[in-house]
Amino acid sequence: MPAEPRGAESRVGRGETDFTRIYVLVVIGEILAIAGLYWLGRYFS
């Protein structure tokens, strides 16, 4: 019988991946994109 998932996997559905880090990366990516667009407007004006 396979072992029960441990650590991060135990907080989510059995056999499913913990997406928390990916969600954080999405938010960071969006903040960087908005910052980049802000810079674009400020620098090239």
Partner 1 sequence: MSAIDWGIVVAYLVWMVWDGLRLSRRTNEVEGYFLASRSLPWWAVGLSVMATQLSAITMTSTTGLGYQDGMRFIQFYFGLPLAMIILSLTVVPFFYRAKVYTAYEYLERRFDLKTRTLTSVLFLLSRGLSCSVIIAAPAVILSIVLGWNLTLTVLAIGMPTAIYTMIGGVQAVTWTDVKQMVIIVAGLVAAVVVLIINLPDGMSVGSALQVAGVTGRTKALDFTFDVNTTYTFWSGLIGGLFLSLSYFGCDQSQVQRYLTAKSVDEGRHSLLMSAFAKIPLQALVLLIGVLMFVFFLFTKAPMIFDDAAKARVEASPRAGEYRALEEEYDRAFDARRQAAQDLSATVGAGPVVPQARDTFIDADARVKNVRDRAIAIVRDVKQDAKYTDVNYVFPTFVVKHLPIGLVGLLIAAIFAAAMSSIAAELNSLATATVIDVYKRHFRREAEDSHYLFVSKLSTALWGLFTCVMALYAANLGSLIEVVNRFGSFFYGSILGVFILALGVKRATGTGAFIGLIAGMTTVGLAAYYSGMSFLWHNVLGAVTVTVVGLMVSLLSPPVSRPIEPAAR
CB 10 within 8 A of CB 18: no
With binding defined as CB under 8 A, does residue 8 bind partner 1?
A: no
With binding defined as CB under 8 A, does residue 7 bind partner 1?
A: no
- Can you spell out the DSSP letters for 3-36? PPP-GGGGGSSTTPPP-HHHHHHHHHHHHHHHHH
Residues 13-32, one symbol each (x = binds partner 1 by CB under 8 A, - = not), give x--xx-x--xx-xxx-xx--
- By the criterion CB under 8 A, which residues form the site for partner 1? 13, 16-17, 19, 22-23, 25-27, 29-30, 33-34, 37-38, 40-41, 43-45
